[in-house]
Chains A and B, each alone.
Chain A
Amino acid sequence: MKRIEARAVMFAAMAVVIARAAFAVGPAQIGNFEVTEVAPGNYVHYGSFQERSPENLGDNANIGFIVGERCVLVVDAGGSLPVGLALKKAVRRVTPVPICHVVLTHVHPDHFFGAAAFLDDKPQFIAHRNYPRQLAARARPYLNYLRRDLGEFAEGSDIVQPTLLVDGRLELDLGGRSVLVQGWPPAHTDDDLTVFDRATRTFWLADLLFVDHTPVIDATITGFLAVMDDLRKIDAEHYVAGHGRSRAPWPAVLDPQRRYFTVILDETRAAIRNKKTIQQAIEEVGLSEVNNWAAFDTFHRRNVTTAYTELEWE
């Protein structure tokens, strides 16, 4: 029943998207769901930088999959059921091998709301040890916001609980291909996971790396900088950011994000030292970075808020 409803909604969504495309009104995101093979067996779909809307259906994060001989591992499910279903179709265009694992890299809605699309495959839903605690606290407001932004297209984007929690490192064998799922100390969130495909040395960083899109700090700025020092040491050949794409080599691609965080860190500490209020800091800190990032207006002041509430206790 649920599935029929979900399918009906998706067809409705597709009908709208197709109609819009026909009149060249908006982007046909789901009807034209592209994946790029960034390294043999590693397929990425690049999400949009636009704010979530009924036109993009929450297709905002970079998501994808790794194909082994026996199993497919999905890295994040996208921001709504239609996005998850589109990703699943993309998997099926590439391989008939079963989807054994869906990694939920962290507790953000642009990454996890598509997870219900994979329930039929009965995969392991893998998340960080801290993920359930955060999901419990955030599920209700996230569902409310999703409904507000997507209206009827939010239907079926149900919360999926993880079935396997990672505390540290988890080695997976996809059949002729081994993959490392790694949990990190608090950084972007307190429940960040990365995926490393050993065969091609492809590093899926999820939101531990933003390219061109304003990086987001939803746990700790000092923690994020510390984790970035460790990320840099990973011997990667290819990389996939959580948002954005780049031709810059690894690990130099980390540098702009590090610079941005350093600016916030230094200027927020100075603001606190100079007895500026959180509101003053929010209005003043980091403005030199405004032209370097997309969606700065949406996320930058939030980052300063997070930094201030952390650093004022130093």
Chain B
Amino acid sequence: MKNGTRRVATLLLVLAFALPAAANEKAEPDPARSPYWEPIRQLIFGDRVINPDDRDVIRVYLNLRADDASTVPVAVKSQIDQTDKDYIKSIYLIVERNPSPTAGVFHFTPSSGRAQVETRLRFEDFSFVRAVAEMNDGKLYMSQRWVKAAGGCSAPNAKNFVPEALLGKMKLRFDDDTVSYGKPNLVQLMIRHPNESALAADFDAEKVPQFVRSVRVSFDGRPVMDAEVDFSISDNPNFRFYFNPQGKGELKIEVEDTHDRKFTHSVPIAEGAPLPGG
């Protein structure tokens, strides 16, 4: 599975470089005719039908004009409740013109509370951002946005370097002061990591990529969100999502990067007890 994912990533990468850069493209192109999207769609989804989202399952939110190519906030919001019968199993978040277009694949369960994730993306160029929801019955729905996100002295790389001592340090911030059982609670996960690729560094052959590969969030031993992520996610990766506690337990984060380094962080959760809010 993991090797498969990596192979797909490599293939996509080759494709991304094979396509000519679109010069002076200021207007939004037709999302259905994008030459970038077809090969990506083929590789990830094969011949499966991607439905236009007339069911309104998922929406992707981004500003048309993103100001900082290194850090573009994005929100993928599910429009349906997660129930045992009908739920979003996975969300694919794709920046189609990035060297490695799949920014992340986020897996959810009926107990996730809500299949929703906010993060920050890097942009190498103007691009469509596509969010594809895969339902528990296998149906696919897509939402997309065109983003003009580069130029001037804005660059997709990190502005500062993460000191070795801070690498993998995590912080959790909660929107509420205390947790509520039986309803989705919003939490923000922050990870200290340069999340850099060697791709940006054509002029530095020595550079070895290091980025976060996977993020596993569980509560009381049960999965909340599992994500396979990539370097299209900004440095110091940041994720906002929901968890749905039914009682007290431990919210646990397990992170792994390309150097097989593992970082963990956890906080005890109990109704009425104060949450670390920052």
Contact = CB atoms under 8 A, between A and B. Distances in A.
Interface stretch (A19-27, A69-77, A82-90, A297-305): A297-305
Contact of A136 (B24, B73, B203): B203
A216 interface: yes
Contact of A298 (B25, B118, B152, B201): B152
B150 A136 contact: no
A219 B236 CA distance: 14
A311 B158 CA distance: 15
Given A136-B201, A218-B159, A277-B73, A313 B190 contact: yes
Contact of B67 (A144, A218, A282): A282
B277 interface: yes
Interface string B109-135: 000000000101000110000000000
Contact of B200 (A132, A141, A220, A275): A141
A140 B200 contact: yes
A138 B196 CA distance: 12
A51 B154 CA distance: 13
A227 to B, nearest CB: 14
Contact of A219 (B21, B160, B234, B277): B160
Contact of B171 (A133, A186, A313): A313
A236 interface: no
**Chain A residues touching B, majority SS:** helix
Contacts of A282: 67, 73
Nearest to B74: A279
Interface stretch (A114-122, A146-154, A165-173): A146-154
Given A144-B21, A148-B23, A138 B190 contact: no
B95 interface: no
A216 B207 CA distance: 28
A272 B24 contact: no
B166 to A, nearest CB: 9
B252 interface: no
A278 B120 contact: yes
Contacts of B277: 275
Interface in A286-314: 298-299, 301-302, 305-306, 309-310, 312-313
A296 to B, nearest CB: 11
A159 interface: yes
Contacts of B196: 137
Nearest to B177: A275
Contacts of B156: 141
B150 A145 contact: yes
Nearest to A134: B157
A283 to B, nearest CB: 9
Interface in B152-194: 152-161, 171, 173, 175, 190, 192
A51 to B, nearest CB: 8
Nearest to B158: A137
Contacts of B150: 141, 144-145
B181 to A, nearest CB: 21
A110 interface: yes
Chain B CB within 10 Å, residue with most, of A52, A108, A272, A312: A312
Contact of A309 (B21, B71, B125, B154): B71
A49 interface: no
A305 B203 contact: no
B265 interface: no
A275 B202 CA distance: 39
B9 interface: no
A139 B63 CA distance: 26
Contact of B151 (A136, A138, A145, A272): A145
Contact of B153 (A109, A139, A272): A109
Contacts of A139: 202-203
A41 B154 CA distance: 34
A306 B159 contact: yes
Nearest to A312: B190
Interface in A141-194: 141-142, 144-145, 147-149, 151, 159, 161, 186, 189-190
Nearest to A216: B153
Given A141-B124, A216-B153, A305-B71, A148 B24 contact: yes
A285 B161 CA distance: 25
A305 B68 contact: yes
Contact of B68 (A140, A151, A302): A302
Contacts of A220: 159-160
Given A147-B21, A305-B68, A137 B200 contact: yes
26 contacts: A51-B152, A108-B153, A133-B204, A137-B158, A137-B204, A138-B157, A139-B202, A140-B200, A144-B124, A145-B151, A147-B23, A148-B21, A148-B23, A151-B23, A161-B203, A190-B161, A220-B159, A275-B175, A277-B118, A278-B71, A278-B73, A279-B75, A298-B152, A306-B159, A312-B278, A313-B171
Interface of B: 21, 23-25, 63, 67-69, 71, 73, 75, 118, 120, 124-125, 150-161, 171, 173, 175, 190, 192, 196, 200-204, 207, 234, 236, 238, 240, 277-278
Given A134-B157, A140-B203, A298-B152, 15 more contacts: A51-B152, A132-B204, A136-B203, A137-B196, A139-B203, A141-B69, A141-B150, A142-B155, A144-B124, A148-B21, A151-B24, A190-B160, A282-B73, A305-B68, A313-B171
6 cross-chain pairs, A with B, having the tightest CB-CB distances, nearest first? A136-B204, A137-B157, A301-B67, A302-B67, A108-B153, A305-B68
